[in-house]
Amino acid sequence: MSSQSSVTKRLDGKVALITGGASGLGECTARLFVKHGAKVLVADIQDDLGHSLCQDLGTENIGYVHCDVTCESDVENAVNLVVSKYGKLDIMFNNAGIIGDNEVRVTDTSTENFKRVFDINVLGGFLGAKHAARVMVPAKKGCILFTSSEHGIRVNCISPHATATPLFQKTLGLFDKKGREMIAASAVLKGTVLEPEDFANAALFWPATRLNM
């Protein structure tokens, strides 16, 4: 077997659910997971982008479901769907998140903005972990890219620096070259600009390692 064939099979037989997987980091990760042999269900509220992603990849190994991560019934449905469609859930990637308004000073941040960020970034991740654990605990294996558990479910947290995604550049109001220059200037490794592919490769590494998987 060639080294290339080995690389493309790092997630062979695995099933993943990725929230916020229709664009940005989630989309890139979904593409990479499929490339490496996983069956992926993308859960997002961006229906057009989600369906477009599935059509672009043109494989039965990826599907899409509308899912608002702040709505527990949506998250529960997404987990139930991935299990009914593919038979199990090995990887739960709680990727959905927003940055919120540009105003970062607590005295100027609105309650509505804080609640929206909290509900999507914190509550959404909690609901994802809760319902993933519901099906992973009986199987005594799984990988949740977000939280911890005592039931043999490994915990990993990906904490990237600023990444050149449309969401980040839109938030800064700096696009293309200017946005990338700002990221490079503020990076710990000066001059380095993280791409979505770098993030996706980090997400690929953890579930692909053989630790109770």
Residues 109-123 have pLDDT tens digits of 899 999 999 999 999
Q: Which of 55-69, 73-87, 141-155, 161-175 comes out lowest in average pLDDT?
A: 141-155
Q: How is residue 97 written in tokens?
A: 């998140």
Kind and range of the H or E run holding 147: none
> Superfamily for 15-211?
NAD(P)-binding Rossmann-like Domain (3.40.50.720)
Q: How far is CA 89 from CA 82, 86, 133, 143, in A?
A: 7, 8, 10, 9
3-state DSSP helix/strand/coil % of the chain, to nearest 5: 50, 10, 40
Residues 45-65 have pLDDT tens digits of 999 999 999 999 999 999 999
List of residues 6+ apart from 19 with CB closer than 8 A = 26, 43, 44, 67, 69, 75, 78, 93, 94, 95, 96, 124, 128
Beta-bridge mates of residue 15? 39
The residue with greater pLDDT, 102 or 128, is 128
The answer, yes or no, to whether residue 7 has pLDDT greater than 80, is: no
> Which candidate, 90, 207, 198, 74, places its Cα nearest to that of 142?
90
The answer, yes or no, to whether residue 5 has pLDDT greater than 60, is: no
pTM exceeds cut of 0.85: no
Q: What are phi and psi of 203, to 5 degrees?
A: -65, -35
Average pLDDT value over all residues in the chain: 83
The answer, yes or no, to whether residue 212 has pLDDT greater than 60, is: no
Q: What is the mean pLDDT of residues 154-166?
A: 67
Confidence band, pLDDT 50/70/90 cuts, at residue 197: confident
- H, E, C per residue of 164-188: CCHHHHHHHCCCHHHHHHHHHHHCC
Residues 9-22 have pLDDT tens digits of 789 999 999 999 99
> Which candidate, 97, 87, 5, places its Cα nearest to that of 41?
87
Confidence band, pLDDT 50/70/90 cuts, at residue 205: confident
Confidence band, pLDDT 50/70/90 cuts, at residue 200: confident
Domain residue spans in the chain?
A: 15-211
Question: How far apart are the C-alpha atoms of 207 and 38, rounded to whole Å?
Answer: 10
